[in-house]
Structure 1
């Protein structure tokens, strides 16, 4: 992928210049979604063409990988790669910012408290679970 500049903010935006990529990563990271139809059923109502395009793009960028579902072999199962898991601190900061600034936030109060007051412990806990759920299964 060619980027316009190697400023870290520009580099990140060129990878995730739209909300759909972040929402797919959110669903993989925090909501346990792993299949195309689960992403499609998310509350934000992504179109099938946009979803397919973003999944392909995230895979090309090695943020996610796809493989065969262990239960239903004909179904594709998406996983975060290490590069995808490395986005955890950024997504947690987005949750904190949104939770503090949206009076109608869906983020549970307990989670917000832990994210704000025990950030490092929460990051460690989530990271370990993501590695177990997404990377260990591919070995």
Structure 2
């Protein structure tokens, strides 16, 4: 049984924006970057991402109700979540795991992210759901 995850890298960082095109213009004015645009209807968002080394920075514009829209309303633009890459395959990961005295963490249902990424929201000892995420290796 898996007791700990093997972290490999920062997979992606999601930033909430109100207007994707305005945000892209602002980033292009400061950096030499190429964007990849993709919608994710299951989450009610439009996204545009670019590489930062081996990681991705993802601009996320909510377009319908859901967690991203709720977070944008409550907290405004800025950091939405951090996604950590793990070495384990998706099917090797338990739904929850425990340390000696209490629940150390809990995974929510694995789902599809943009570009076929398989991701899961993750809680560490009471940290807010949706702020930390794991990204599994892609299998082609």
TM more than 0.5:
no
TM-score normalised by structure 2 residue count: 0.22
Q: Which has the higher contact order (CA 8 A, sep 6+)?
A: 2
TM-score normalised by structure 1 residue count: 0.23
Question: Counting helix residues as a fraction of each chain, which structure ranks higher?
Answer: 1
Question: Counting strand residues as a fraction of each chain, which structure ranks higher?
Answer: 2
